[in-house]
Chain A
Amino acid sequence: MARNGHNRASASQEVNPDHIVSVKDFSPDTLRNVIAHLKASTSFEHLVYREAELDAIWTITGFFLANEPASSVHDAVNRLHAGAQKAHDLVAERRPGAAATVLEAFL
């Protein structure tokens, strides 16, 4: 199987930690895909990719919070935004399993 950092559609659910998950939204499908990759991550490179994905989730949720202040899901997205940051920091501590657990709370 080719590695090369190919992005994969989040719906594909193909788990290869050498791939960067395409984070286009913060849907349950995307979160599941990121969580699955977190659980399979072991190397320096894997953790770099996971950090990039969590950065992307944090960024996208941040955009949502800024642009949709009256949204009915504002509080939930705010919690996910904070959760993504926590998961990001756990990956920085080389604890991808703990980061996955944090994200699972949002499924």
Chain B
Amino acid sequence: MLSREENDLLTRTDAGTAAGKYFRRFWLPVLLPTEVPTPDCPPVRVRLLGEDLLAFRDTKGRVGLIDEFCAHRRASLFWGRNEECGLRCVYHGWKFDVNGTCVDMPNEPPEYGFGNKLRTTAYPTREYGGLIWAYMGPPEHEPELPKLEWARVADNQRYISKRFQETNYLQAIEGGIDSSHSNFLHASLDAFRVTDSYVEKVKNSGTLRAKYHLLDKAPRFTVKKTDYGVVIGVRRNAEEDRYYWRLTQFLLPSHTMIPYEKGLAIHGHCWVPRDDQTCWVWTISWNPEAPLSEEEWKTIRDETFVHAQVDPATFRPVRNKANQYLLDREKQRTANMTGIHGFASQDQAIQESMGPVVDRTRERLGTSDTAIIAARRLLLQEIRELGEGREPYTASHGDVYWVRSASLLLKRDVEFDEGARELTKAEV
């Protein structure tokens, strides 16, 4: 449970809010490069941290991210012409470059010299790791880019998708680190009921997750604070002398990783506030050792796991709130818990069902919610410390993101962080 003041503090990210200032200390993913594919291509609208912005790629290939509305009369620059290293408002011809400088003001007498003195809001961008990132904070605090493993692999070893979600970012993060929900929300009926046929099927499974994950529905949580955020160790019973551990990272301000099993692709998310009611969900799958395999591409195409098909213009998922996520009650009766296809859509459906900003004063948490409590407390601590003038350590130390999630079997007397030390190092 949180107090109303704490819930508001965590979930409000517009300019001027405490959490808004905190998020504005980090590079945040804003666009897929394919959204602004070529020089002088059409601009695209970007809503981020409650601000309406416009992205465009100029003649030299640089990506600008500026206030959507013209500094003159506040007309939308979305209708503007992207031409000769600037975006020109079609209302009175004012033109802005990627730095936000007004480089032409043709309807004013040139002797006034207004042009080069006027700037609109503009944020620096970087192309990195298959994404375009933006920094929306004070220039003197520009952070390092996070040295995330997925950002360092070759393009053919990585797939990134983007989707629009109608919840506050925090609800989405909490879903991402809540290991116990997968025993229910993402379970087949056979797995949920632990039928004999299911047990027989997974007994000799090649993957740890299939073999152990669903057989212990009440996992134990351990959290450890780290330089990058929190690592969450989730322990399930395995053989008599061993535990099955799944390690998830929550990396500040809003990255998470799904436990990785050696030899398979790794998956992670970045949950970015669009405004207080909605967020952008960035989902990344990467293979640190080789190009994504045909089997991994099939999982992506079939939307069975973490990626969901979206409208390419709006990034709204094909399965969405308006069409009840294409819920199939017959499938729910006979096949899986939700009747909804794919983990991503299942997550989105249940998180959106809680309302845009869940009232955390009305929760009833238990010890299985330890990871969620840890993430909230860490974020609250960081947000409050920034308010007291202490800059976030992670923002200026990109190297701390050089970690990897893990899942493994350990003898029962071995600490998870010691037993998984080698596995949780990024390698690329």
**Residues of A near any B CB (own CB < 8 A):** 2-7, 18, 20, 22-23, 43-45, 47-49, 51-53, 55-56, 58-59, 62-63, 85, 88-89, 92
- In the complex, the answer to whether A7 meets B220 with C-beta atoms within 8 Å is yes
- In the complex, the answer to whether A56 meets B365 with C-beta atoms within 8 Å is yes
| Residues on the A chain within 8 Å of B415, using CB | 2-4
B403 to chain A, nearest CB (A): 18
Check A6/B220 contact, CB under 8 A, given A47-B377, A48-B377, A88-B1. yes
B252 to chain A, nearest CB (A): 14
| Residues on the A chain within 8 Å of B365, using CB | 52, 55-56, 59
| Closest chain A residue to B364, Cβ basis | A59
A54 to chain B, nearest CB (A): 9
Q: How far is the CA of A7 from the CA of B369 in the complex (A)?
A: 14
| Residues on the A chain within 8 Å of B374, using CB | 44-45, 48
Contacting residue for B222 out of A4, A43, A47, CB 8 A: A4
B382 to chain A, nearest CB (A): 12
Check A52/B370 contact, CB under 8 A, given A44-B225, A58-B1, A88-B1. yes
Interface 0/1 of B211-239, CB less than 8 Å to A: 00000000011111100000001010000
| Closest chain B residue to A63, Cβ basis | B364
Check A48/B373 contact, CB under 8 A, given A2-B415, A55-B365, A62-B364. yes
Contacting residue for B233 out of A5, A51, A56, CB 8 A: A5
Q: How far is the CA of A8 from the CA of B363 in the complex (A)?
A: 25
A66 to chain B, nearest CB (A): 10
A70 to chain B, nearest CB (A): 22
- In the complex, the answer to whether B370 meets A20 with C-beta atoms within 8 Å is yes
Q: How far is the CA of A22 from the CA of B220 in the complex (A)?
A: 10
Check A56/B1 contact, CB under 8 A, given A4-B235, A44-B225, A48-B223. no
- In the complex, the answer to whether A56 meets B3 with C-beta atoms within 8 Å is no
* 9 further interface pairs, Cβ-Cβ under 8 Å (given A4-B220, A45-B374, A52-B369): A2-B412, A2-B413, A5-B221, A20-B220, A22-B367, A23-B367, A44-B374, A52-B365, A85-B1
The answer to whether the Cβ of B131 comes within 8 Å of any Cβ in the partner chain is: no
Q: How far is the CA of A53 from the CA of B415 in the complex (A)?
A: 22
- Would you mind naming 10 contact pairs between A and B with Cβ atoms under 8 Å apart? A4-B222, A4-B243, A6-B220, A43-B225, A44-B381, A52-B366, A55-B1, A56-B365, A56-B366, A62-B364
- In the complex, the answer to whether B364 meets A52 with C-beta atoms within 8 Å is no
- In the complex, the answer to whether B364 meets A49 with C-beta atoms within 8 Å is no
Q: How far is the CA of A6 from the CA of B415 in the complex (A)?
A: 11
Q: How far is the CA of A7 from the CA of B24 in the complex (A)?
A: 39
| Closest chain B residue to A58, Cβ basis | B1
A105 to chain B, nearest CB (A): 20
Check A44/B370 contact, CB under 8 A, given A5-B220, A55-B365. no
Chain B residues 386 to 428 lying within 8 A of chain A, measured CB to CB, are 412-413, 415-416
B184 to chain A, nearest CB (A): 18
- In the complex, the answer to whether A4 meets B416 with C-beta atoms within 8 Å is yes
The answer to whether the Cβ of B378 comes within 8 Å of any Cβ in the partner chain is: yes
- In the complex, the answer to whether A45 meets B220 with C-beta atoms within 8 Å is no
- In the complex, the answer to whether A53 meets B377 with C-beta atoms within 8 Å is no
The answer to whether the Cβ of B311 comes within 8 Å of any Cβ in the partner chain is: no
